[in-house]
Structure 1
């Protein structure tokens, strides 16, 4: 079953139909995920049971987002509720099924470890294909770089290109986000005692990912890379070194907004435009506070996506759905933090390294999502499944050592924490957007 899940991800990441034209019309992903669902069908009732959802708040929150998607049309009238609600349920339902399969398959530390290795290989191939096409070593039409223009400080139009990947990573920002994950898991592989002959491959993958992130010229992706790097430094050398690393990264973070030849700061160009979109999203949330403007309706209402996954989901799904989307990340982060803290003196180095690696992937991916609208895509839920299952597996390992770790439960206390986190997030976004807007007026 694990091999079939790896095949599913290979198809998802590499999109064989884009590389081999003869496979373009073949429903490879659909057939493979149906086979995966058949393979895990015996465990699905358990994953959907009330007891499992109470004990696994990440799964409970993702399930609540599935419910929130059709409910987001409640304020649009019964006709739209039944028609568009059904379409929303079916659309997000495909992603939800992937999340269920990932949760059912990633059931042991060994499988998590193997998944990390496969992720490094798959993302390395994505990076290699993109860079090879960009350098003219092979030709894949779908990988043609995006050419964009921005104005410099003098008002001159400057043009630059951005690297793209296969399939769901065809947008440079998506590619940069997944390359951050690839770098983290490649570093994990190369530093593992068992790496052996695989170490040179892991080093090559890490190098490809770093170079690829640079070539995407994605500011959000670069910020995610820095955030993931900080977590890796903290996990390996502690808080004092992490503080020094943060001080060293600060100038780099400021320079990120000038990565593109025409961009100077957060108050200029596309960065300012995205912040203005956040403000627009909050206005629509104020008008539709409970259930939002409707699943996948942000662009239709405002003209563009929010370029912030959390603002996007709050606007489309209302406070109900947006809070649960945010809650999945809150629960995943709390779970990893608790097993890391309790396991520092009891877990073997390999276990601690795995927790740190998954945490770095989660933090880097989440940071990039603050500038991208990727609330409903499969890779987001792969990261959540990895984080949730890693925390649960390490909790069991600590229990065997006689150490009791209380992971978050989907109960009243968690819902109260989630409500506070949601209000704090929305307030922070509002104040940030307000201050930046005032700076340029």
Structure 2
């Protein structure tokens, strides 16, 4: 089962079935998913208690209900084909990857796959066209095939696995460190070649959050300002990081239109994939996109899915048993802490990117959320004292959290519109 899960992740990221002539048109990805799911069922793996196992299927149902509410019954089949595989993948990873060994293996596979895409971008940038046959963008930004055709998507992938590569570097021997260091440098160069402002900010946030955790807020803040200034020197698009700049202004207008869609369709939204039916540009914000397309019901569920993931990693980091009074518990916690910190950093970087991209339904996002869920389930078995999260006890908090965040989006967009005006 686990090898099939790894194969599915490789095919999802590297996507050879989309550019190797002999594989084009073959249903390789669906077949591997079906085989992996069949093996998962045959293994008798039980679904543990965790809020994500209730929230994600509920969100899936809301996606289909949103299609029906907007008058398209065929949308149910459409969502089953598009989002159904994500649900299956999530359940398999979250229940199968609960041990440190499997989590680290999956991280290594994701880092190596992302490095392949970065190498493709380097080849593309220097040769004008990559081995996939995809040329460099007209604006000089690298791109890949399929779901990574947009440079911003590539940047988001690189940022998501950057902390994972750093953890693998720390745990490796001399030769392994050289390999993972090469991967880290390649990924960072890949971020530079995407020239994605969201990805660059994501890298800055990942590094800043790590420094904050290790050295405190003041040091992180000072180095963050220095890092932002350095990024503006090396990237022409970072120099244009201003609400009045044309690209940024278009995004703010799209956010405004998304909020208007929510106001006109508050319960179930305008339907998944229908944002551009109401506005020429997509939302360029995953939070606004979910709010506009799935309404308040979908937004609460999506926010809860994300919120529990952050909460789980933070719960491990906050535990901090007393080393003298509980040496065994402290040792167990110390073994889990690096993984918790790595996953928290991945979440931070990924959702900084997601705030500037319309990638609410992108599979890589749910792979990371699944890894977090599986990690926490395993950590609770290995470390005493970690809380058991449940919707019955804490699920209600996401409604006021959603209301507060929506109000924040309205305030932010109002301020930005006045600034650009």
TM-score past 0.5 threshold = yes
Cα 1:261–1:421 change in 2 (3 A) is closer
Q: Distance in 1 between matches of 2:200 and 2:113?
A: 20
The answer to whether 1:428 aligns with 2:413 is no
Question: For residues 57-91 of structure 1, what are the alpha-carbon distances to aligned partners after superposition, in whole Å with 9 as ceiling and x for unaligned?
Answer: 222221111010111134334xx2x3223322332
Q: 3-state SS of the aligned residue for 1:373?
A: coil
Q: Distance in 2 between matches of 1:71 and 1:45?
A: 29
Which of 358, 379, 395 is the equivalent residue of 1:373? 358
Which of 289, 311, 314 is the equivalent residue of 1:312? 289
Q: Indicate conservation of the 8 Å contact 1:72/1:292, yes or no.
A: yes
Q: Report the counterpart of residue 75 of structure 1 in structure 2.
A: 69
Question: For residues 248-298 of structure 1, what are the alpha-carbon distances to aligned partners after superposition, in whole Å with 9 as ceiling and x for unaligned?
Answer: 445457x39973288351221111111111111111101111111112111
Question: For residues 339-359 of structure 1, what are the alpha-carbon distances to aligned partners after superposition, in whole Å with 9 as ceiling and x for unaligned?
Answer: 111046524544211111111
Matches within 5 A, 1:90-105: 90-105=81-96
Structure 2 alignment gaps of length 5 or more: 323-329
Q: Indicate conservation of the 8 Å contact 2:55/2:305, yes or no.
A: yes
Q: Shift in Å at residue 104 of structure 1?
A: 2.8
Q: 3-state SS of the aligned residue for 2:83?
A: helix
Q: Shift in Å at residue 35 of structure 1?
A: 0.9
Cα 1:430–1:43 change in 2 (3 A) is farther
Number of residue pairs aligned between Structure 1 and Structure 2: 413
Q: Indicate conservation of the 8 Å contact 1:189/1:195, yes or no.
A: no
Q: Shift in Å at residue 310 of structure 1?
A: 1.3
Greater Cα offset, 88-97 or 320-329: 88-97
Q: Shift in Å at residue 239 of structure 1?
A: 4.5
Q: Distance in 1 between matches of 2:187 and 2:310?
A: 24
Cα 1:271–1:218 change in 2 (3 A) is same
Q: 3-state SS of the aligned residue for 1:56?
A: coil
Cα 1:409–1:296 change in 2 (3 A) is same
Greater Cα offset, 240-249 or 57-66: 240-249
Structure 1 alignment gaps of length 5 or more: 148-159
Q: Distance in 2 between matches of 1:238 and 1:218?
A: 28
Q: Indicate conservation of the 8 Å contact 1:181/1:364, yes or no.
A: yes
Matches within 5 A, 1:32-431: 32-42=32-42, 46-47=46-47, 52=48, 55-77=49-71, 80=72, 82-136=73-127, 139-147=130-138, 160-192=139-171, 194-239=172-217, 241-249=219-227, 251=229, 255=232, 259-260=236-237, 263=240, 265-343=242-320, 346=330, 347=332, 349-399=334-384, 404-411=385-392, 413-431=393-411
Greater Cα offset, 38-47 or 380-389: 38-47
Cα 1:68–1:279 change in 2 (3 A) is same
Measured on the aligned residues, the alpha-carbon RMSD in Å equals 2.3
Q: Report the counterpart of residue 6 of structure 1 in structure 2.
A: 6
Q: Report the counterpart of residue 16 of structure 1 in structure 2.
A: 16
Q: Indicate conservation of the 8 Å contact 1:224/1:363, yes or no.
A: yes
Q: Distance in 1 between matches of 2:233 and 2:304?
A: 29
Q: Distance in 1 between matches of 2:128 and 2:228?
A: 37
Cα 1:408–1:246 change in 2 (3 A) is farther
Cα 1:45–1:188 change in 2 (3 A) is closer
Q: Distance in 1 between matches of 2:201 and 2:44?
A: 37
Q: Distance in 2 between matches of 1:257 and 1:279?
A: 31
Q: Distance in 2 between matches of 1:288 and 1:252?
A: 43
Cα 1:73–1:129 change in 2 (3 A) is closer
Question: For residues 396-423 of structure 1, what are the alpha-carbon distances to aligned partners after superposition, in whole Å with 9 as ceiling and x for unaligned?
Answer: 2212xxxx12143112x42321112111
Cα 1:264–1:138 change in 2 (3 A) is closer
